[in-house]
């Protein structure tokens, strides 16, 4: 009977140790892999958080910007309505002809931004526009204007306002910026011719057009009530 | 309850319409007490009597114009205590330069916006409350 060789116990122990070590190394490698995956996941989550945070900041900024824009728009609207209100009140409180003409000058100078204007009254019998008052315009340039003649005459004839969209402040001496018919119940009583804008006024704005529109109707009423038409007749 | 210190502001302009516009623009400032004068002479008397913190001053006015008033205030040494902001249609650089050399603290050209007045008020006469 053959007798098997017995394995030395120390060798057995060493073999077990090597096996355990290999297992431990494999486990470490597996854990390292898991750790790397976790690190990647953490990185990805950090990026997602950063994006979400950016989006929230952006959204907050957008909200703040919108609020600022709304405030600025409301302030503009308030200022514009205030201008319309004071202009309207100024015209409607004017009883005497000179006061009405002075009100027109104040509105054009202080609210629209021009210190060069002529106010004409239309004489229906002669079909001529007669200057009632002027500001900042050389007297030699001011005279009667036949109805339908030139921009001023055509505005009086058609009742349609003229506005030079390209008008710029401080430039083009003598250039007409706007010509507004003074209309009462569809009848043209006269016109306001506005020439050069003030140097600090870059251009006419939409709010100025509303002021011109107000001038067209309210100034006509005020002039009519003050008897300017009759005065023009007497002046002839 | 804290006591509100009113900021006293004088508006000098011969146009009632412009004075009304100031009223509209500054009405929302709770601690601002507005007074008005239609010309430089009346403004001078008021300033000597009341010493407001800030004056919004037009240039073209009857009796005494804005630059004459500014000169007078400068001569009398009032400008250290009373800030003056010019508000006028005169917008040429030489007009601005003259007013600033006379001691104006600021310069606003007409047509003005209410926001410009509010900014000048906050800058020249900050709220104490």
Among residues B33, B37, B32, the alpha carbon closest in space to that of B18 is found at B37
Alpha helices, DSSP H, located in chain A: 9-92, 97-106, 150-158, 206-214, 220-226, 228-235
Q: Which residues contact A4 (CB under 8 A, 6 or more apart)?
A: none
Residue B57 near residue B100, CB atoms below 8 Å: no
Q: Which DSSP helix (H) or strand (E) runs through B107? A: strand B106-109
Report the complex ipTM: 0.82
Quick one: how far is CA A214 from the chain centroid?
A: 20
d(CA B10, CA A47): 58
Which tokens is A208 given? 């100025």
Which chain B positions have a beta carbon within 8 Å of A75's beta carbon? 113-115
* Nearest CB partner across the interface for B17, out of A86, A113, A115: A86
Instruction: Please indicate if any CB of chain A lies within 8 Å of the CB of B93.
Output: no
B1 in contact with A, Cβ within 8 Å: no
Cα–Cα distance measured from residue A236 to residue A223, given in angstroms and rounded to the nearest whole number: 18
Q: Residue A105's closest chain B neighbor by CA?
A: B15
Cα–Cα distance, A169 to A70 (Å, whole number):
28
Partner residue opposite A110 with nearest CB, options B24, B92, B110: B110
pLDDT at A23: 94
- The answer to whether B110 contacts A78, with C-beta atoms less than 8 Å apart, is no
pLDDT digits (tens, 9 = 90+) for A60-81: 999 999 999 998 888 888 888 8
- Answer yes or no: are the C-beta atoms of B115 and A79 closer than 8 Å: yes
Q: How far is B21 from chain A (nearest CA, A)?
A: 7
Count other Cβ atoms within 10 Å, centred on residue A203.
Answer: 14
A59: β partners: none
Among chain A residues, CA nearest to B23: A82
User: Contact, B58 vs B18, CB < 8 A?
Assistant: yes
- Cβ–Cβ below 8 Å for A75 and B114: yes
Query: Does the predicted TM-score (pTM) go above 0.90?
Result: no
Vertex A229: Cα angle to A226 and A235 (nearest 5): 110
Residue from B111, B62, B55 nearest B86 by CA:
B55
SS3 state of residue A213: helix
Which of A75, A85, A200 has its CB closest to that of B109?
Answer: A200
Joined together, the tokens standing for residue B96 give 């601005």
For the stretch A132-185, pLDDT in tens is: 999 988 888 889 999 999 999 999 999 999 998 887 777 666 789 999 999 999
How many beta carbons lie within 10 A of that of residue B92, not counting itself?
13
B89–chain A Cβ distance below 8 A for any pair: yes
Residues 106-125 of B with CB under 8 A from A: 109-111, 113-115
pLDDT of residue B20: 92
pLDDT of residue A180: 96
Whether A136 contacts A115, CB under 8 Å: yes
Give the strand order in the sheet containing A117-123.
A145-146, A128-135, A117-123, A187-194, A178-184, A162-163
Q: Are B22 and B11 spatial neighbours (Cβ–Cβ below 8 Å)?
A: yes
Residue B11 φ then ψ, to 5° = -105, 125
Nearest Cα neighbor of A95 from A184, A222, A215 is: A222
Q: H or E element: which one contains B68?
A: helix B66-75
B91 interfacial to chain A (CB closer than 8 Å): yes
User: Would you write out chain B's pLDDT as a tens digit for each of its 129 residues?
Assistant: 567 788 999 999 999 999 999 998 898 888 999 999 999 999 999 999 999 999 999 999 999 999 999 999 999 999 889 999 999 998 888 889 999 999 999 999 999 988 899 999 999 999 887
CA distance B2 to A233: 65
- Residue A69 CB neighbour total at 10 angstroms: 10
A225 and A94 in contact (C-beta within 8 Å)? no
């Amino acid at each position: 009977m053959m007798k098997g060789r017995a394995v030395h116990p120390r060798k057995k122990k060493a073999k077990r140790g090597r096996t355990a070590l290999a297992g431990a190394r494999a486990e470490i490698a597996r854990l390292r892999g898991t750790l790397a995956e976790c690190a990647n996941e953490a990185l990805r989550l950090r990026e997602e958080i950063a994006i979400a945070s950016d989006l929230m900041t952006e959204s907050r900024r957008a909200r703040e910007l919108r609020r600022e824009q709304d405030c600025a728009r409301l302030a503009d609207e308030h200022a514009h309505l205030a201008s319309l209100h004071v202009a309207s009140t100024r015209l409607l409180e004017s009883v005497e002809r000179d006061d009405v003409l002075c009100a027109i000058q104040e509105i054009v100078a202080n609210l629209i931004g021009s210190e060069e204007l002529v106010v004409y009254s239309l004489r229906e019998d002669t079909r001529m526009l007669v200057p009632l008052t002027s500001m900042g315009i050389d007297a030699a340039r001011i005279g009667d204007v036949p109805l339908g003649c030139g921009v001023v005459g055509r505005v009086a004839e058609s009742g349609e306002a003229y506005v030079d969209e390209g008008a710029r402040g401080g430039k083009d001496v003598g250039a007409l910026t706007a010509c507004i018919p003074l209309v009462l119940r569809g009848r043209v009583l006269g016109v306001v011719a506005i020439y050069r804008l003030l140097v600090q006024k870059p251009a006419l704005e939409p709010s100025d057009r509303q002021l011109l529109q107000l001038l067209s109707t309210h100034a006509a009423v005020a002039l009519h009530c003050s008897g300017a038409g009759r005065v023009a007749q007497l002046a002839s | 309850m804290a006591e509100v210190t009113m900021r006293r502001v004088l508006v000098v302009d011969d146009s009632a319409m412009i004075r009304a516009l100031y009223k509209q623009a500054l009405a929302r400032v709770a601690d601002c007490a507005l007074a008005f004068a239609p010309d430089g002479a009346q403004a001078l008397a008021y300033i000597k009597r009341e010493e407001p913190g800030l004056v919004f001053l037009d240039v073209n006015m009857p009796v005494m114009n804005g630059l004459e008033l500014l000169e007078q205030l400068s001569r009398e040494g009032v400008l250290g205590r009373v800030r003056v902001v010019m508000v006028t249609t005169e917008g040429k650089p030489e007009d601005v330069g003259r007013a600033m050399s006379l001691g104006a603290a600021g310069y606003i050209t007409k047509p003005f916006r209410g926001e410009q007045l509010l900014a000048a008020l906050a800058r020249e006469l900050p709220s104490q409350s």
